[in-house]
Amino acid sequence: MRLPNLTLFKNIMLLPVCMLLFTVELLANEVNSGIHGKVTTSEGQPAANVNVKIKKSVRGTTTGADGSYQIRNLNAGTYELEVSFVGYETFQETVTIADNEQKEVNIQLKLTQGELEEVIVQSQINSYKTNKLSSSLRLRTPVLETPQNIQIVTNKALADQQIISMSDGLVRNVSGAVRLEHWGDMYTNISSRGSQVQAFRNGFNVVSSYWGPLTEDMSFVDHIEFVKGPAGFMLSSGDPSGLYNVVTKRPTGQTKGEVSLTVGSFDLYRTALDLDGKLSKDGKLLYRLNMAAQNKKSHRPNEYNDRYTLAPVISYQLDEQTKLTAEYIYQRANMSNVGSYYVFAPDGYAVYPKEFTMLPAGVPGTKINDHSASVQLDHKFNSDWSFTAQLAYYNYGQEGSSSWPSIVNPDGTMIRNISLWDAKSRMTMGQAFVNGQFQTGRVMHKILGGLDLSNKEYFADWSQSHDLDTAGGEFDPRNPYLGPPNNGYPSFDRSLPIEQRATTAGGLIDQRYSSVYLQDEISFLDNRLRLTIAGRYTNIKQASYGGEPQEAKRFTPRFGLSASIDHETAIYALYDQAFTPQNGRLTSGAKVKPLTGNNIEFGIKRDWANGRWNTTVAVYRILKEHELVADPNSPPNSGFSIELGQKRSQGIEFDLRGTVARGLTLVANYALTESKITELNANNIPGMKVGDYVPSYAKHTANAWLTYKVQDGALKGTGISAGFSYLGDRMTYWETPPAGGAEIPDYFKLDTGLFWEKNNVRVTGNVFNVLNKYLYSGSWYSWLNAYYWQSEAPRSLRLSVAYKF
Three-state secondary structure of 678-717: EEECCCCCCCCCCCCECCCCEEEEEEEEEEEECCCCCCCC
What pLDDT is stored for residue 137 in this prediction? 87
With beta carbons less than 8 A apart as the criterion, state whether 88 and 57 touch.
no
**Phi, psi at 496, each rounded to 5°:** -90, 155
647 belongs to a structural domain:
yes
Q: What is the pTM of this model?
A: 0.85
How far CA 197 is from CA of 179, 320, 584, in Å, comes to 11, 38, 17
How far CA 70 is from CA of 37, 38, 54, 104, in Å, comes to 7, 9, 12, 9
∠ Cα 242 248 252 (to 5°): 135
Helix (H) or strand (E) holding 17: helix 6-26
SS (H, E, C) 629-660: EECCCCCCCCCEEEECEEEEEEEEEEEEEEEE
Domain count, the chain: 1
Q: With H, G, I as helix, E, B as strand and everything else as coil, classify residue 498.
A: helix
Q: Within a 10 A sphere around the Cβ of 95, how many other Cβ atoms? A: 16
Q: Dihedral of the CA atoms 133, 134, 140, 145 (nearest 10)?
A: -10
138 belongs to a structural domain:
no
Q: How far apart are CA 379 and CA 66, in angstroms?
A: 15
Helix (H) or strand (E) holding 748: strand 747-758
3 belongs to a structural domain:
no
Domain residues for the domain of 698 are 248-470+497-804
∠ Cα 345 351 357 (to 5°): 70
Q: How far apart are CA 704 and CA 723, in angstroms?
A: 5
Question: What residue ranges of the chain have pLDDT lower than 50?
Answer: 1-30, 114-126
Q: How far apart are CA 363 and CA 366, in angstroms?
A: 10
Q: With H, G, I as helix, E, B as strand and everything else as coil, classify residue 2.
A: coil
With beta carbons less than 8 A apart as the criterion, state whether 557 and 532 touch.
no
Determine the distance from the C-alpha atom of residue 767 to the mean position of all C-alpha atoms in its chain, rounded to a whole number: 25
With beta carbons less than 8 A apart as the criterion, state whether 340 and 334 touch.
no
Spell out the residues 6+ positions from residue 204 whose beta carbon is closer than 8 angstroms to its own.
374, 392, 429, 431, 454
What pLDDT is stored for residue 31 in this prediction? 54
What pLDDT is stored for residue 625 in this prediction? 85
> What does the DSSP 8-state code read for residue 281?
T
Q: How far apart are CA 369 and CA 214, in angstroms?
A: 10
95 belongs to a structural domain:
no
B/e letters for 538-567, b = 16+ CB within 10 Å, e = fewer, are bebbbbbbbbeeeebebbbbbbbebbbeeb
Q: How far apart are CA 757 and CA 149, in angstroms?
A: 34
Helix (H) or strand (E) holding 20: helix 6-26
Q: How far apart are CA 190 and CA 192, in angstroms?
A: 7
Q: With H, G, I as helix, E, B as strand and everything else as coil, classify residue 137.
A: helix
Q: Within a 10 A sphere around the Cβ of 665, how many other Cβ atoms? A: 24
791 belongs to a structural domain:
yes
Closest to 69 in 3D by CA, of 61, 78, 81, 80: 61
128 belongs to a structural domain:
no
What pLDDT is stored for residue 639 in this prediction? 62
In the chain, the N- to C-terminal Cα span, in Å, equals 59
CATH of the domain at 453: 2.40.170.20
502 belongs to a structural domain:
yes
Closest to 199 in 3D by CA, of 133, 230, 244, 241: 244
What pLDDT is stored for residue 597 in this prediction? 81
Q: Dihedral of the CA atoms 37, 42, 44, 50 (nearest 10)?
A: -40
What pLDDT is stored for residue 16 in this prediction? 42
Spell out the residues 6+ positions from residue 89 whose beta carbon is closer than 8 angstroms to its own.
109, 110, 111, 112
What pLDDT is stored for residue 775 in this prediction? 95
> What does the DSSP 8-state code read for residue 88?
B
Residue ranges with strand state E in 136-282: 150-153, 191-192, 195-196, 198-201, 204-205, 221-228, 242-248, 256-264, 268-278
What pLDDT is stored for residue 232 in this prediction? 58
Q: Within a 10 A sphere around the Cβ of 522, how many other Cβ atoms? A: 20
What pLDDT is stored for residue 647 in this prediction? 85
Q: Within a 10 A sphere around the Cβ of 500, how many other Cβ atoms? A: 12
Q: How far apart are CA 648 and CA 626, in angstroms?
A: 12
280 belongs to a structural domain:
yes
Amino acid code (one letter) for 670: Y
Q: With H, G, I as helix, E, B as strand and everything else as coil, classify residue 15.
A: helix
Q: How far apart are CA 415 and CA 472, in angstroms?
A: 10
Closest to 130 in 3D by CA, of 105, 154, 114, 150: 154
Q: How far apart are CA 468 and CA 446, in angstroms?
A: 62
With beta carbons less than 8 A apart as the criterion, state whether 160 and 226 touch.
no
Q: How far apart are CA 620 and CA 240, in angstroms?
A: 11
Spell out the residues 6+ positions from residue 303 whose beta carbon is closer than 8 angstroms to its own.
184, 297, 336, 340, 341, 357, 359
∠ Cα 300 301 306 (to 5°): 85
What would the DSSP string read from start to end of 357-423?
--PPTT---EEEEEEEEEEEEEEESSSS-EEEEEEEEEEEEEEEEEEEEEEE-TTS-EEEEEEEEEE
